[in-house]
Structure 1
């Protein structure tokens, strides 16, 4: 399946998932930002923007690689994100790198450990991720780091523009499907807090899975 095979119906269903994944949190100042690694440098650049706005004094970039991002950032996601933020004017002294995490739970736990080793125990955190990873990041943090107050943020961009900015558009839809399936399944394992998923969102998810956007679904 190529980008040309993404039908208008698929795009409409993907928009439903996109709208659900976004939390719409109002920006507020926090003690630290944790930026979850991925294939999307937009998260790092948005972190730099918020840093320059004075939203937080310190940024932790977290992420190793996976089967997909190793081809995009062979040096690691956190390292690539750190470089992008440095290029955007964030000083080295305001950044930390956690380069071992390979999933969102590890992103949170290892970032927390890294901060603790530096004597930093924040009570408030800004989580920054890809737009469609906001809800997953929030649910994971609430389960793994329940004592902190969390606000989520992502690059402010509409779904059609976001999708058009990538060559591998099919992977974007597959990732959105995979993230939603994790939101549904992972609370029973304690990885995330449980959240209500509207029937309209469930229906769109099922249609996209049937249409073949299933390559990033969690493995049984």
Structure 2
């Protein structure tokens, strides 16, 4: 089967933004633990001093996982060597819009958010960026957002790590 149009769509949805040092890396909850792995890798590469995982149970994890997505992502990051003291958790969000509302947790912990790296699945990059721009502008602070995802092509989806926690 020719999947040329699927590749065109995939390439459109992936923003391919360049990474820069930031204040915090935010791993947005989902069913794919490769998002947690990418978030932890970026932290371990020194791109930010803080890692925030956000997510309760969403459409793909409710009824499948018994723990919030943020807790599952925390386990992944700890196994990879991220110190627990550098990780914040938000365990109530059930969709992308709620995931973006992490700013409250950052403010409560006096963590600046002038520059953030948002991590989600590749096909969600454009959506995450749009939702961030829509929701964050109400906070009265200018924040530069970079969106990234596990580095893979369309042929890597789906994957055995999805829905296995």
TM over 0.5: yes
Unmatched tracts of structure 2, length 5 or more? none
Q: Per chain length, whose mean CA-contact separation is higher, i.e. which structure has more relative contact order (CA < 8 Å, sep 6+)?
A: 2
Does residue 1:115 correspond to 2:109, yes or no? Answer: no
| Whole-angstrom distance in 1 between the partners of 2:158 and 2:120 | 18
**Conserved? CA contact 1:21–1:132, under 8 Å:** yes
In the comparison of the two structures, how many residue pairs are matched?
Answer: 158
TM-score for both structures, normalised by structure 1 = 0.68
| Whole-angstrom distance in 1 between the partners of 2:83 and 2:30 | 22
Aligned residue for 2:143? 148
Shift of 1:56: 0.5
Does residue 1:136 correspond to 2:127, yes or no? Answer: yes
Match of 1:86 among 71, 78, 90: 78
**Conserved? CA contact 2:17–2:148, under 8 Å:** yes
Q: Deviations over 1:150-193 (max 9, x none)?
A: 11111111111x1252498xxxxxxxxxxxxxxxxxxxxxxxxx
* Compared CA separation, residues 120 and 43, structure 1 to 2 (3 A): same
Does residue 1:49 correspond to 2:56, yes or no? Answer: no
SS of equivalent to 1:66: coil
* Compared CA separation, residues 164 and 107, structure 1 to 2 (3 A): closer
Q: Relative to total residues, which structure has the larger helix share, 1 or 2?
A: 1
SS of equivalent to 2:82: coil
TM-score for both structures, normalised by structure 2 = 0.89
Does residue 1:157 correspond to 2:148, yes or no? Answer: no
Give the root-mean-square deviation of aligned CA atoms. Answer: 1.7
Shift of 1:72: 3.9
Aligned residue for 2:19? 27
| Whole-angstrom distance in 2 between the partners of 1:76 and 1:13 | 35
**Conserved? CA contact 2:30–2:60, under 8 Å:** no
| Whole-angstrom distance in 2 between the partners of 1:121 and 1:133 | 25
Shift >3 Å, 4+ stretches: none
Aligned residue for 1:59? 51
Unmatched tracts of structure 1, length 5 or more? 1-7, 169-220
Q: Deviations over 1:14-47 (max 9, x none)?
A: 2222111100001111000111100100010011
| Whole-angstrom distance in 2 between the partners of 1:165 and 1:115 | 32
